Amino acid sequence: MSPRFNEMEEVARTYCNLIENVREINAQWLQDLAALLPKLHATVASLGRPITITTHTLMPDMDARFDMYAKLHRLLGEKDGYWMEFDVAHDGQSMTGSLADDLTDIYCELKQGLKLLENEPKRVFDDWINGYRVHWGQHLIDAERHLYTLGTRNKF
């Protein structure tokens, strides 16, 4: 494996550990997360294009995903929701974003890949790259933006 893939694995493990081990949301946890997300972003973007597959195939356990979302949503409390810029529902009502949802979707993609990494490393990295491009990359950008906003408003 290339050094970039090793770095991606390390960043994915760090992210998953941070999410899995949260017991309360405090300023340090939010600062650690706000520092880690740009590193994750840069690392996955540096992987380039997929090597072998062109579709996204990682499928998370939906029950585990809901449990993680519920936990993060509860812990984040008022820090969870945010308004999505320029996003309007078909019925004209504004929609809101959720940091818990963003963090959970990123977590599920990375965790599922980590589970498969030993047996199918090339597939996992291709899936992470494709998943980033078609799904969790937007969650990553939204989470980074929301954490930036919280930080600049002294809400950590």
Burial class (CB in 10 A: 0-12, 13-18, 19+), 140: buried
| pLDDT(85) > 90 | no
Q: What is the pTM of this model?
A: 0.88
Tokens coding 73? 């949503």
pLDDT tens by residue, 32-83: 999 999 999 999 999 887 666 556 566 667 888 999 999 999 999 999 998 8
CATH architecture of 3-76+97-152: Up-down Bundle (1.20)
Q: List b or e across 89-112, with b for residues whose CB sees 16 or more CB atoms inside 10 angstroms.
A: eeeeeeeebbbbbbbbbbbbbbbb
List, in order, residues 6 or more apart from 113 with CB less than 8 Å away.
12, 58, 124, 125, 127, 128
pLDDT tens by residue, 95-148: 579 999 999 999 999 999 999 998 888 888 888 999 999 899 999 999 999 999
Domain ranges of the chain: 3-76+97-152
